[in-house]
Amino acid sequence: MSQSARFVLIERKTRLTELVERFNTWSQARFYLEHANADVNDYLQEHDRYQKALSNIEITLRAHGRVARLERALLDTYQFHSEDIILVVGQDGLVANTLKYLQGQPVIAINPDPQRWDGPLLPFTVEDAEQVVVDTLAGHASIKTASFAEATTKDGQRMLAVNDLFIGPKTHSSARYSLAWNGQQEVQSSSGIIVSTGLGSTGWLQSILAGAAGISGQAVPSDLKGGFSWEADYLYYSVREPFPSQTTGTDMVMGRVTAKNQLVLTSFMPMNGLVFSDGIESDGLEFNAGTELTIGLADVRGCLVARS
């Protein structure tokens, strides 16, 4: 087997690791857990299983090429190469977060603890690692692509979303903006807008759609119940808690966004407007008065190795 392959092994901190960082030592962290009546053994078992999974996968990878280990917090600063093969040792959120920083490199997503974590995006176990790596290197792996959303501003700022985009207020207040879509335009006041990809369509979007349908009287489209295909050539937007008034409407609260029918939002908020993707508010864009945001399908797609 060629040793020229390059793997990037993506990991995240466990709850135990984060507690030790917070309290400086394990003894202090344990004292905190015990006084909170938490199950200390659960934290220890989770940590040990995760570290064992990482170690076993790294051993497997080193038999086939070079390995770089990368912690989640460093994703936005890491320089991925086009020939990299990415292994993400789950949960689902880590897979989505990783895909955002790639340019079509194959991602093998592994569930390190299937008894603990559900994982729609984690089709493989630690025991599967050897075979799926061999298949991927040989070009025999089944690849499933996933469409991304992209938000762009007139001044050239850009944000990708693997699951969904949120556009709205930073705090629990109302967002005010105009929404243009499908040849129509409406001024709205709401608690924000969600734009979902197929990958994210079984999550946050479902609850927002239900609320929008209740307010507008429109039925949730049957093809959206339970989500839509990861590879779909469209996105879907839904407005959270739209407020009807003399100057704001509730007629355009949900719709399909395509390459030819993009969503355009213009902010009327003097401050606290925000755009963020995949639940990460700290990596957001401002959406304040005068900002025009165009949302559509991204050119780049995610590539997930799937079970054959």
CA dist., res. 107 & res. 98, Å (int): 9
Instruction: Report the candidate in 99, 90, 107, 156 with the shortest Cα–Cα distance to residue 293.
Output: 156
* Element housing 59 (H / E): helix 40-62
% of residues, the chain, pLDDT over 90: 76
CA dist., res. 140 & res. 133, Å (int): 10
Instruction: Report the candidate in 294, 292, 293, 298 with the shortest Cα–Cα distance to residue 101.
Output: 298
Determine the pLDDT at residue 1: 40
Residues 159 and 176 sit within 8 Å (Cβ to Cβ)? no
Instruction: Report the candidate in 116, 156, 146 with the shortest Cα–Cα distance to residue 229.
Output: 146
What amino acid is encoded at 86 in this protein? Answer: I
CA dist., res. 175 & res. 117, Å (int): 36
Instruction: Report the candidate in 194, 200, 106 with the shortest Cα–Cα distance to residue 148.
Output: 200
Show pLDDT as tens, one digit a residue, over the chain (308 residues). 445 799 999 999 999 999 999 999 999 999 999 999 999 999 999 999 999 999 999 999 999 999 999 999 999 899 999 999 999 998 888 999 999 999 999 999 999 999 998 878 899 999 999 999 999 999 999 999 999 999 999 989 999 999 999 999 988 789 999 999 999 999 999 999 999 999 998 888 888 877 766 666 666 677 777 789 999 999 999 998 888 999 999 899 889 999 999 999 999 999 999 999 988 888 889 999 999 999 999 999 999 999 87
Residue whose entry in the numeric block shows the structure tokens 């900002």: 291
Residues 6+ apart with CB under 8 A from 172: 191
Domains and CATH numbers, the chain: 5-140 (3.40.50), 148-299 (2.60.200.30)
Structure tokens at 131: 């075979």
DSSP 84-121: -EEEEES-HHHHHHHHTT-SS-EEEEEES-TTT---TT
Instruction: Report the candidate in 228, 134, 236 with the shortest Cα–Cα distance to residue 182.
Output: 236
CA dist., res. 177 & res. 128, Å (int): 49
CA dist., res. 240 & res. 205, Å (int): 10
Instruction: Report the candidate in 160, 179, 170 with the shortest Cα–Cα distance to residue 97.
Output: 160
Structure tokens at 240: 């959270």
Residues 88 and 71 sit within 8 Å (Cβ to Cβ)? no
Determine the pLDDT at residue 48: 96
Three-state DSSP at 237 gives: strand
Half-sphere exposure of 115 (CA within 13 A, CB side): 5
Residues 249 and 230 sit within 8 Å (Cβ to Cβ)? no
* Element housing 210 (H / E): helix 204-216
